[in-house]
Structure formats: C-alpha cells, structure tokens
Structure 1
Amino acid sequence: MLCRTQEEGAVTETPKDRLARWRACAVMHVDMDMFYVGVELLAAPGLRGRPVIVAGSGHRSVVLSASYEARAFGVRSGMPLARARAMCPGAVLLEPHRSAYEAYSRRVMAMFWEITDRVEQISVDEAFLDVAGAVRRLGPPVGIARTLRARVQEELGLTASVGIGVNKTVAKIASTRSKPDGLLLVQPEDTVAFLAELPVTALWGVGGRTAEALVGAGLRHVGDLAAAPLPQLTRVVGRAAGHHLHELANGRDPRPVVPVREEKSVGAEETFPQDVSDDRVLHEVLLRLSHRTASRLRRHGLRARRVGLKLRYADFTTLTRSRTLSQPFTSAHDLLQHGAGLLEELGERPQAVRLIGIRAEALEQSTDALQLSLDGREEEWGAAEEAMDRVHARFGADRLGPARLLPAAPRERQGNSKAVDSRARGAQSTADGLSWYQAAPEQPGISAPEG
C-alpha cells in the first residue's frame, strides 16, 4: 500500500529538485515479519498457513513469536505459554533456535549496510535506515525499499515490512500499518493527516497509564493531541511529556538515525519451570548463561567492562545489579565470577527465584589495545575459551563444555570398588576446579545460514 508516491510529477522537475524531494522523505523502518516463526518455517515449510508458536516447552515459558494465524486467536509475544495454548489449542509449538535467529539477523543487517552507512539497529529483526545519501546511486526511497524487500525474500525466504517517512516516528508507524509483508510511504504533505486518525497509543512513549490519562481528558486520537493547546497537554501528562507528544502528533521528530553496529550489551536469562531457592542450581544456570553470553561476545569481536545480574522473585519483583571491572573481558570465567559475586552481595533472598539472567555491558571492540593485568589471567582464560570456540565451530557446540553442566548419570563401580561418577570420565580439571567434558554429538537442529 502506498500513500501518494508522486514518483512522476505532473510538472517538469529538474534532477536537482527530484533528488531534494527524495531526500526530504528518506527515513525507512524495516521490520521483519514474525521473524522467529519465519526462520523456523524455513526448516518446516509444511507448517505454513497453520497457527505456530515459538516458545520453550516449559509450562512457565513465554511466547517468543507467533504466526499471524495464531495471532488471530489473540496470541501475542511475551504472553505466558499456558495462556497462549488455551487461546489457540490447535497451535503447533516449536522450540526456539537462537543461533539461527542471530545468523539470519546478521545477514539481514548486512543487506542494510550495503544500502547506506546510516543504519540504526534497534532489535534483532528491525532497524532504521536513512537512505538520503543513497538516492543518487539507487533511486527513490520507495524503489530502494522494493528492491530490499525482494532481495530479503529471494535470498533468505523471509518477508519484511517497510515504512518510509520524514522521520523515525512516521516511518515506524508506517511499517506497523503495512504489516504483514507490506510497504507504506507517507509523503511529507500527508504526514499530519496520516497520523491524525490513529489512536494515541500509536505514538512512542504512550503506555497504558498515559493513554488512560489522555483518553480521560478527551484526547483519543493523535489528531486530538495535535490540535490540543500545549497548556492542556502539560496539565494532563506533565510539561516534558506534553511537549514531546505535541511534537510527535504534528509529525515532528528531530531524532536522527544514529548508526549503531555494535550491541550495547549482550546477555542471556532463564525462567525456571519452578521457583528455585537452591544456590547450587542458581550457580549452575549462571555458568551456562555465562558461557552462552561470552561466546556471543567473542563471535562479534567484542569485550565488556561491566557485568550485570538480573534476578526476578516469585512475586515478579525484579532486581538488577552491576559491577564495573578494571579490565575488559571476553571469558565466561570472568563473567561468572563477578555475576556470582553480585548474587552473593544480594544477601539472604526473601523469596524463591523465578528468573535469573546475566549481561556483559559497556562493550568495546576487541581489536582495541588491551592493557593486561599484572597476572595476565584474562589472557589465559580468553585463549582457553577461544580454543573451545574453534572446537564448537568444527564439531558442534555440544562437544565441549563445563562438566558441571552434564546431566546426572548413574554412578558406576570399577574394580577398585571406588564409586566413580560416569559424568567425569574424560573430564579435565583446571587449577580452580572448573572441569570440561567432551560429549557425544547430538542430532543438529535448524541450521544457520552461511555467510
């Protein structure tokens, strides 16, 4: 769907004028359609057209993504899986494959960077692009968007929705209105009219409470906000928010597209099937999450200077703590050491834990110069885990890892009558007691794309 593209003007237009017109409306928001589901369907094409939910199998899992067929039953991302299955009992449940999502995301983002050097990635499956500098080479923004969407579908088998407008707010709303698999261009002269009929919740920054306050004041649509006197808005939502919403409602958003190649933080978290009070279990999960996070750091050529811990209790009370280190790190060893320290600093917990997570923050390129500590231990651990990365790349991620993460196994007896835990066979221990195992390979799941 297009709003008055005006690609061929009714009057004679000079090349300079045409370029100026294209550049005046050159902010794109590209949002992949049901990205996680789309990637899963590449390995299960027979499920196309059926309600599909991507989520972990635990009864306390939440929905990561849902096909449009499932969304028709009311299923939404972030919804508890139990509720989603009750709403759509016929849905097919698929386990997530995060490494595949990351790989496809990298390929999608690489396509964006081929178009322009002004790409602001805001999640694994969406980004803003400012293509003003590319129109002389590639033509009008709407043509660039059409070519991009076609390439994503042909090369990756996925679909993307694209919104184009004078700024980020308009482009974002346009992409949402064009879903699924659509393209919407909002010309500058159509911007205010386009926004006017939308509910106030379409604007960034309008959550549930703000929406209630606005509707209570008779301001239901964006057009109402645009026409309202500024003093009225400030009385309802405050001075700063009132001014912000008034600007957005009138199609004004001064924020530029800020190129961001690196993630601001990398992390992982886990929701337990049942609330956990056992420190041993919490530390074991932190170990697994630390290795997952550190592996992503190294894969993206990053290192971190801050460790963050997230803890959610049974009543959903959530705590976050962080610690800045004197030396940057890339190893799970350092991430675990300081994450466990943050957990210990919380003291006695008043409730059982529902969720735990760890993050590597304050990221920088690992190619930057590094001043080693006096004992040089960060280099030793980094080298050891990089060697493990190479084993994973060649033989699979399940072939090498911490022995503590092996599942419990029956204890066997050998000839000397000493009990030997069968998990430890072939394991090697380091000086501080961290052991590594070599496990038999499992059947691979969905494969990640090459490149």
Structure 2
Amino acid sequence: MTRVLYVRFLGRSAASAEGHPALLRLLHGITPVVQALPPDAAFADVGGALRYFGRDAAGLAGLVRVRALALHGTDCVIGVAANPLLARMAADAHGAPGVAELPDAADAVAGFLADRPATALHGVGAATARTLASYGLDTVGRIAAAPPATLQRILGAARARRVRALAQGTDPTPVTPSAPARSASAEHRFGHDELDAGLRRRALLTLADELGYRLRGAGQAARALTLTVHYADRSTTTRSRTLAEPTAHTQDLTGAAYALHDALGLQRARVRAVALRAEELADAAHTTRQLSLDPTEERRHRAEAAADRARRLFGPKAATPAGHLDVA
C-alpha cells in the first residue's frame, strides 16, 4: 500500500545548507524512499515501513515530528495521503505545525478538493487557472465535474487529461529517491545597472563564499565553475572554467570567478546581475587533491573551517571574508 508523507520543516535553520540534509537523514531513518524538495521539504513513501515500525502512516508522521523536535529543534507540518499531490495539499491546507491525514475514501477526497481553487493543484499555474476561471471552472470540484470534451477544447488533449486527473485527486507520480545534486548556484542582483568593476568583484566574492560554505557543509566539491552576467539590455554572457582540481574552498572558487569576469573585459558594461554555478559536484571525501608543502595554504584551510563552525553556531554572516558585500 502506498502511503506518502509530505514533510515541510519549519524555521530558518531547516532551509540552511546543513539543516535540510540533516533533516533528510532523519527521514532516511524511517524509509529509503525519500525525495528532497529544497529548500525545506521532502516526500517520503512509507508504505514499506508500516509493518516494520508497527504504526500506520499518521503514526510514522508523528514519529518524524517528535524526532525533528528532539534532535534538531525543528517543528514541521506533515501531510499524509495516498499520493504526493494529496499529501502536499493536506499539509498546505493544515498550515500550522502538526500532522494532517487525508483518508483514502473517494468521498473524503472529493469533499476535501471540492471548494479549493485550481491553483491549489500542484502543476496548475496561474495562467491555466485564469483560463479555466474564464469558463466558470474556478474550483477543483467544478473542474473534476466538467466533461472531458470541454476541458480538451479549453486546454488541449494532453493538458486536459492531466488537469482532470489532478482535480479528481489522482497523481501517478512516484516518490523518486533524490540523487545527489549535480550543481549549486547563487545570484546577486544589483540595485541599479552597475558599472563599477570593483563592486562586481565584491559580488563575485560574496557568491563564491556562499557556494563554498554550502558545498563544504554538504561534503561536496566542484569540478567546474560557470559565470553568467546579465546586462541592462536583458542580454547575457555565460562562461565556464574547469577547475584545476575539485574544490569547495572559497579562495579557489573566488579566483576562478575573478578570472572568468576579467576575461570578459566589461569596462563599459552596464551589469544588472551576476550569477555563479558550481558544476560537476562530487563527494569531497572521494576526490583527489594535490598535496601542498605551503604552510600558508594549510593555515588558510584551518581558518576557513573555524569560520564555518562560527557560522553554524551564530548564523551565516558571523564570519565572512573582507570585501564581502555585507561588510561595510
């Protein structure tokens, strides 16, 4: 029997670089079928865990909540239902911390869905909802009751079938265990079109520091770095560089970002935003690293580790490099 939990962890720490992976490991202690939904949520298929724990799905949801509070000081709202769509909707409808279970009975599902707006269906966007509302189909119940031919004329055949199934509470999408992230990105948008190359370099330092901190917290290292520059005329330039060796160190990422930026020759460019993406991520514990006899580098890495510990204790801005945009 398929039973799905939609777990949304509450609080700022739940969405942090360390908090979310730690909370996902808590779910993995109950079932291996866990799909991460960054930055602060996850699906978990607990159908195979019911007999092992001797609890029903709502009981397992309660166990998740107790463990999250006891081990991480983080509360959560958990939806329990037969599929991911209904579990997410049950949690969203509940809102407050706690467990919300939606029974499998068809009349219970229909009653739960009937008066909800079309946008409550995950996968139905605002534009589709406006189109449906213009034909009087402004609630999930009315969409479910509409003749298939009517929906097909409004939305087209494939889209109509998908929306009708969702409106009837049917979601065949399985909970897919998440693979490790293959990239991580960060972006800074300037308050105005920026001509100052020095300020752009400070933005790149800030982004490289953020990426490095996140990668180190997740135990990952990047093999490549991509810089994207957005201009005032809405055009973009993207450049990539393979790093000398996989790294998560802020100084290495910053140096690569500066090199990519300087190679573009943006002396007169009006820059709207810059973004960095760390790519080809790998497990840092299994990557090779060139040994160095330079004691300065070793001291720098120790200082970086100490700064990371301070940030974990006192917040992400507790220890940042000089030149960081948050430093006056």
Specify if TM > 0.5: yes
Q: Percent identity?
A: 29
Structure 2 counterpart of 1:145, one-letter code: A
Going from structure 1 to structure 2, the CA distance change for 1:321 and 1:385 (only over 3 Å counts) comes to farther
Q: 1:120 aligns with which of 11, 31, 35?
A: 35
The answer to whether residue 61 in structure 2 is matched with residue 145 in structure 1 is: yes
Which residue number in structure 2 is paired with residue 167 of structure 1?
83
Structure 1 counterpart of 2:100, one-letter code: L
Structure-to-structure mapping, 1:246-261, within 5 angstroms: 246-260=164-178
Larger Rg: 1
Q: 1:102 aligns with which of 17, 28, 34?
A: 17
Query: In structure 1, how many angstroms separate the alpha carbons of the residues matched to 2:113 and 2:162?
Result: 15
Mapped contact 1:198–1:222 kept (Cα < 8 A): yes
Which residue number in structure 2 is paired with residue 325 of structure 1?
242
Which residue number in structure 2 is paired with residue 86 of structure 1?
none
Mapped contact 1:27–1:128 kept (Cα < 8 A): yes
Going from structure 1 to structure 2, the CA distance change for 1:177 and 1:359 (only over 3 Å counts) comes to same
Query: In structure 2, how many angstroms separate the alpha carbons of the residues matched to 1:359 and 1:104?
Result: 21
Query: In structure 1, how many angstroms separate the alpha carbons of the residues matched to 2:86 and 2:327?
Result: 54
Going from structure 1 to structure 2, the CA distance change for 1:232 and 1:175 (only over 3 Å counts) comes to same
Helix, strand or coil at the partner of 2:164: helix
Query: In structure 2, how many angstroms separate the alpha carbons of the residues matched to 1:234 and 1:278?
Result: 53
Q: 2:92 aligns with which of 170, 176, 188?
A: 176
Going from structure 1 to structure 2, the CA distance change for 1:237 and 1:304 (only over 3 Å counts) comes to farther
Q: 1:308 aligns with which of 209, 216, 226?
A: 226
Which residue number in structure 2 is paired with residue 28 of structure 1?
5
Mapped contact 1:27–1:164 kept (Cα < 8 A): yes
CA drift of 1:384 comes to 7.5
CA drift of 1:140 comes to 0.5
Which residue number in structure 1 is paired with residue 119 of structure 2?
201
Query: In structure 2, how many angstroms separate the alpha carbons of the residues matched to 1:342 and 1:234?
Result: 49
CA drift of 1:120 comes to 1.1
Query: In structure 1, how many angstroms separate the alpha carbons of the residues matched to 2:292 and 2:113?
Result: 53
CA drift of 1:365 comes to 1.8
Deviates more, 1:112-121 or 1:299-308: 299-308
Going from structure 1 to structure 2, the CA distance change for 1:401 and 1:167 (only over 3 Å counts) comes to closer
Mapped contact 2:182–2:279 kept (Cα < 8 A): yes
Structure 2 counterpart of 1:221, one-letter code: T
Query: In structure 2, how many angstroms separate the alpha carbons of the residues matched to 1:236 and 1:309?
Result: 42
Gaps of 5+ in 2: none
Going from structure 1 to structure 2, the CA distance change for 1:195 and 1:349 (only over 3 Å counts) comes to farther
TM-score (norm 1): 0.60
Structure 2 counterpart of 1:111, one-letter code: L
Which residue number in structure 2 is paired with residue 220 of structure 1?
138
Deviations 1:32-64 (A, max 9, x none): 23x22xx5xxxxxxxxxxxxxxxxxxxxxxxxx
Q: 2:162 aligns with which of 216, 235, 244?
A: 244
Structure 2 counterpart of 1:298, one-letter code: R
Deviations 1:311-359 (A, max 9, x none): 45568x4847363638662144553455445546767599744443322
Query: In structure 1, how many angstroms separate the alpha carbons of the residues matched to 2:88 and 2:292?
Result: 42
Mapped contact 1:163–1:171 kept (Cα < 8 A): yes
Mapped contact 1:168–1:253 kept (Cα < 8 A): yes
CA drift of 1:306 comes to 4.0
Going from structure 1 to structure 2, the CA distance change for 1:111 and 1:240 (only over 3 Å counts) comes to same
Structure-to-structure mapping, 1:17-96, within 5 angstroms: 23-24=1-2, 26-33=3-10, 35-36=11-12
Going from structure 1 to structure 2, the CA distance change for 1:318 and 1:211 (only over 3 Å counts) comes to farther
CA drift of 1:407 comes to 9.8
Deviations 1:183-215 (A, max 9, x none): 211122233432232110011222221211111
Query: In structure 1, how many angstroms separate the alpha carbons of the residues matched to 2:147 and 2:237?
Result: 40
Mapped contact 1:303–1:328 kept (Cα < 8 A): no
Going from structure 1 to structure 2, the CA distance change for 1:106 and 1:230 (only over 3 Å counts) comes to same
Structure 2 counterpart of 1:252, one-letter code: T
Helix, strand or coil at the partner of 1:304: strand
Mapped contact 2:197–2:267 kept (Cα < 8 A): no
Going from structure 1 to structure 2, the CA distance change for 1:246 and 1:356 (only over 3 Å counts) comes to same
Query: In structure 2, how many angstroms separate the alpha carbons of the residues matched to 1:286 and 1:181?
Result: 38
Going from structure 1 to structure 2, the CA distance change for 1:401 and 1:101 (only over 3 Å counts) comes to closer
Query: In structure 2, how many angstroms separate the alpha carbons of the residues matched to 1:114 and 1:284?
Result: 42
Q: CA RMSD in A?
A: 3.8
Deviates more, 1:277-286 or 1:378-387: 378-387
Structure 1 counterpart of 2:104, one-letter code: P
Going from structure 1 to structure 2, the CA distance change for 1:183 and 1:395 (only over 3 Å counts) comes to closer
The answer to whether residue 218 in structure 2 is matched with residue 296 in structure 1 is: no
CA drift of 1:108 comes to 2.5
Number of equivalences = 319
